[in-house]
Amino acid sequence: MGTVGRDDTEDLRRAERGLQAAQLAADADALDRLLDDRLIFTLGMDGKTYSKQDDLDIQRSGSQQLTRVDEEDLQVFVEGDTGVTWFLGTLAGEIGGEPFGARMRYTRTWLRDGSGDWRVIAAHASSVPE
């Protein structure tokens, strides 16, 4: 797609923040558009991997409800049709009816599809000490 410019970086930054908003709103339809069908998400606390369908099922079931996604830092890198975002922030909500709160680091790898939209292909999350 040519030279990577500020617009590419800003487009990916908007996609990352759109993903955060979709998570907070439990908007499975928005997540369906933002997650690649081949997604593999690794959760650092237990090392388990999850698919796009796993994520959508969690959102649609209501078993996870976020009440807070506060971004502290967001770094964005774009090279061609590949991008990486590094999010640091605090999340809070409920999982299975149990409250949780954690400071988290997410690393997400994004691919730009044929229509120019960004989709997450791989992600990893770890808790970060306060």
pLDDT above 70: residue 6: no
pLDDT at residue 1 in the model = 42
CA distance 1 to 16: 20
E runs forming strands in 15-127: 35-43, 49-51, 64-79, 82-95, 98-112, 118-127
pLDDT at residue 44 in the model = 76
pLDDT above 90: residue 4: no
Question: Do residues 50 and 43 touch, judged by C-beta distance below 8 A?
Answer: yes
For residue 10, give the nearest of 85, 69, 64 by alpha carbon.
Answer: 85
Give the pLDDT band (50/70/90) at residue 2.
Answer: very low
**Mind listing the pLDDT tens digit for each residue in 61-104?**
999 999 999 999 999 999 999 999 999 999 999 999 999 999 99
pLDDT above 80: residue 3: no
**Element holding 61 (H helix, E strand):** helix 52-61
**Structure-token pair, residue 112:** 């730009």
14: number of Cβ within 10 Å: 12
Q: Where do the domains of the chain lie, and which CATH numbers do they carry?
A: 6-127 (3.10.450.50)
Question: Do residues 10 and 56 touch, judged by C-beta distance below 8 A?
Answer: no
b/e for 49-78, b at 16 or more Cβ within 10 A? eeebeebbebbeeeeeebeebeeeeeebeb
Indicate the average pLDDT of the chain.
Answer: 93
Structure pTM? 0.90
